[in-house]
Amino acid sequence: MIKMIATDIDGTILAWGKDFSPRVKSCINKLTQLGIKVVLVTGRMHASAIHAAKDLNLNTPIISYQGGLIKDINGKTLYNKNLGSDYAKDVIKWARSNGIHINLYIDDKLYVENDNKIIKYYVDGKYIDYTVCSFDDLEIKNVNKILAIDLDDAQKVSGWVEELKQKYPELYIVKSTPYYCEIGSPEAKKSLGVEFLADMWGFKKEEILTIGDQDNDIDLIEAGGIGVAMANGTDGIKRVANYITDSVENDGFVKAVEKFVL
């Protein structure tokens, strides 16, 4: 029996540029009424994810920053694994030397050095404020993660991932969309966040359904007894999934829940 559903947000239960569909909202409401824990597991910052949780009337803890931060609905921190300051400073130097735009997240606040089209695209519809400043003016500590972005060249982003993995094999570096390269603590993984809450609630792996669409969701869906990939997902996540559901536009989340849970 499934007691917990851990779901990614963007591309899984929410299509880009849209609101949550009535079917997704109704499905999650039904799960909540049945006492099934529905947990949002996202690369988003907590300050953004909390809006999604409230829109869905969820009161479960939120796993944000790829698993680097877990806060309950009232803002109490349950789990926090930051990117080391020395690593963060190195990545900032790497980005500057290569002319790469990065988002820097410190204490759940977003900083950028240039107010450009990239950051405007990134924050669109996500309820996010950001500060434009030189990173030299900031104290580089309590770094939730760094996100490197190129909106035009997915191959370039893949190259960054491989380059940084070779340079920092001890860190967690992954593509979260074709255009986003995430750099975080090795303990900032979606799977570890799911395991933390499962242990807290006393759930076994086989009592958990996990669902996602991107390569940063691969370890998420491997953390569940039933791991579901979206039809709009990457080839990598489809290869490891137990089941491939419909696309986010066609409410694939709802269809998976109806098949395995309801």
Q: Are the beta carbons of 13 and 245 closer than 8 angstroms?
A: no
Rounded Cα gap, residues 74 and 60, in angstroms: 10
**Is 8 a catalytic site residue?**
yes
Evaluate the CA torsion angle 178, 95, 124, 138 in order and state its sign.
positive
Residue type, position 245, single letter: T
- By three-state DSSP, how is residue 40 classified? strand
Q: Are the beta carbons of 5 and 38 closer than 8 angstroms?
A: yes
Q: Are the beta carbons of 167 and 155 closer than 8 angstroms?
A: no
SS3 percent helix, strand, coil of the chain, rounded to 5, is 40, 25, 35
Looking at the annotation, which residues are catalytic? 8
